Amino acid sequence: MWLRKERRGAAPLTRERIVAEAVALLDEEGVGRLTMRRLAERLGTGSTTLYWHVDTKDDVVDLALDAIFGEVPVPPVSDDWRGEVTGLLHGWRGAMLRHPWSARVLGRPLLGPNVLARTEFLHAALVRAGFAGPALVAAAYALSNFVIGSALMEAGAAEETAERRAADDLLARHRAEYPTLAAHGHPSGNDWNDAFARGLDYLLDGMRP
């Protein structure tokens, strides 16, 4: 069969290819349109074939999630633990914003190797900084929860300018009930970057080993 070489060479269906295509599909169409059938179609296979490589659709999502965290660069170890941490976390946020569906999918335990490696790095940097015991877990969780929460909110807010417009209208209509909110408005554009950087500084300033 001539097909053999071609099949083997061009399209050996693997977990890796499935995950890569899932990430592409999620990036292009969002989490609501990730479907086993659509994914299989993009891969040129039948939908049920996927189930030989993967137990369940949730597995695909878990794998895709861990895959994008592989994009987060792990800074080199230096004697500036604070620089390492901010570098890691800015990268973390960046990856989540590049793949906004990731925020919608969080909440299941993050146990993939890429996530674990970065979490390990974060903990190690904090240990090097002198944190230990309850202060260590508090610091590590505060930092990652802050990043995750920020990405979640920002990804949600960035989704639809139409909805944002409606939200501003709503806020303007209820100006009397929410005076402070209406006066300062929602962040937009570069405000998010600034707010994130500032917030991270607040947190790091307040942390003491």
Partner DNA sequence: CGCCTCCTCGTACGCTGTTCGAGTCACTGG
Partner DNA sequence: CCAGTGACTCGAACAGCGTACGAGGAGGCG
Residues that bind DNA (CB under 7 A): 1, 3-4, 12-13, 33-38, 45-49, 51-53, 56-58
Residue 11's CB: how many other CB atoms inside 10 A? 12
Smallest gap, in angstroms, from Cβ of residue 28 to DNA? 14
Residue 178's nearest CA partner among 192, 165, 167 is: 167
Tell me which of DNA, its own copies, none is bound by residue 155, counting a contact when its beta carbon lies within the kind-specific cut-off of 5 to 8 angstroms: its own copies
Smallest gap, in angstroms, from Cβ of residue 174 to DNA? 24
Burial class (CB in 10 A: 0-12, 13-18, 19+), 132: exposed
Residue 170's nearest CA partner among 157, 182, 161 is: 182
The C-alpha atoms of residue 77 and residue 180 are separated, in whole angstroms, by 43
The dihedral formed by the CA atoms of 155, 200, 83 and 130, expressed in degrees to the nearest 10: -130
Tell me which of its own copies, DNA, none is bound by residue 57, counting a contact when its beta carbon lies within the kind-specific cut-off of 5 to 8 angstroms: DNA
Within 76-105, which residues bind its own copies (CB under 8 A)? 103-104
Tell me which of DNA, its own copies, none is bound by residue 47, counting a contact when its beta carbon lies within the kind-specific cut-off of 5 to 8 angstroms: DNA
Smallest gap, in angstroms, from Cβ of residue 162 to its own copies? 11
Q: Which residues of 142-172 are buried (b: 16+ CB within 10 A; e: fewer)?
A: ebbebbbebbbebbeeeeeeeeeeeeeeeee
Interface with its own copies includes 152 (CB under 8 A)? yes
Among 11, 172, 181, 209, binds its own copies (CB under 8 A): 181
Residue 110 dihedral angles phi and psi, to the nearest 5°: -95, 100
The dihedral formed by the CA atoms of 181, 183, 189 and 192, expressed in degrees to the nearest 10: -50
Interface with its own copies includes 124 (CB under 8 A)? yes
Smallest gap, in angstroms, from Cβ of residue 145 to its own copies? 3
**Size of residue set near its own copies by CB under 8 A:** 63
Residues at the contact surface with its own copies, assessed by CB under 8 A:
103-104, 106-109, 111, 116-117, 119-120, 123-124, 127, 134-139, 141-142, 144-150, 152-153, 155-157, 159, 163-164, 167, 170-171, 174, 177-181, 184, 187, 191, 194-196, 198-208
